[in-house]
Amino acid sequence: MRIAVLLSAGRHAVSGRPAPVPVELQAIRLAHDLGGEVTGLHAGPDAAPLKDTLGHGLPRLVHHRITVADDPLPSLAAALIEGAFDLVLAGRTGQGGEDTGLLPYALARQLSLPLVPDAAALAEGPQSGTLSVEQALPRGARRRLVVHVPALVTVHPAAPAALPFAFAAARRGAVEARPGLVAPRAPTQIEERPYRARPKLIAKAAAGASAAERLKAATEAASGGGRLLVDPLPEEAAREILTHLRDIGVLRSR
Ligand X SMILES: Nc1ncnc2c1ncn2[C@@H]1O[C@H](COP(=O)(O)O)[C@@H](O)[C@H]1O
Asked if residues 229 and 239 have their Cβ atoms less than 8 Å apart, the reply is: no
Taking CB under 6 A as the rule, does residue 215 contact ligand X?
A: no
With contacts defined by CB under 8 A, how many residues of the chain interact with another protein? 87
Asked if residues 173 and 52 have their Cβ atoms less than 8 Å apart, the reply is: no
Taking CB under 8 A as the rule, does residue 101 contact another protein?
A: yes
Nearer to ligand X, 22 or 252 (CB): 22
Which among ligand X, another protein, none contacts residue 145 (Cβ within 5 to 8 A by kind)? another protein
- Residue 47 identity: A
Nearer to ligand X, 102 or 251 (CB): 102
Which among ligand X, another protein, none contacts residue 96 (Cβ within 5 to 8 A by kind)? another protein
Taking CB under 6 A as the rule, does residue 21 contact ligand X?
A: yes
- The minimum distance between CB 62 and ligand X, in angstroms, equals 10
Taking CB under 8 A as the rule, does residue 168 contact another protein?
A: no
Taking CB under 6 A as the rule, does residue 49 contact ligand X?
A: no
Residues 61-80 contacting ligand X, CB under 6 A = 72, 76
The span from the CA of 105 to the CA of 113, in Å, is: 9
The span from the CA of 179 to the CA of 17, in Å, is: 25
Nearer to another protein, 28 or 158 (CB): 158
Taking CB under 8 A as the rule, does residue 222 contact another protein?
A: yes
- Residue 45 identity: P
Asked if residues 159 and 173 have their Cβ atoms less than 8 Å apart, the reply is: no
List the one residue from 82, 99, 220, 236 that touches ligand X (CB under 6 A).
99
Query: x/- contact string, 106-145, with another protein (CB under 8 A)?
Result: x-xx----xxxxx------x----x---x-xxxxxxxxxx
With contacts defined by CB under 6 A, how many residues of the chain interact with ligand X? 23
Residues 110/112/113/118 CA torsion (nearest 10 deg): 60
Stretch that binds ligand X, among 92-100, 213-221, 226-234, 236-244 (CB under 6 A): 92-100
Say how far residue 78 (Cα) sits from the centre of its chain.
23
Nearer to another protein, 62 or 136 (CB): 136
Nearest to 23 by CA among 87, 104, 80, 113: 104
Residues 6 or more apart whose CB falls under 8 angstroms from that of 51 comprise 170, 175
The span from the CA of 200 to the CA of 193, in Å, is: 19
3-state secondary structure of 111: helix
List contacts with ligand X (CB under 6 A): 6-8, 21, 24, 41-44, 72, 76, 90-91, 93-94, 97-104
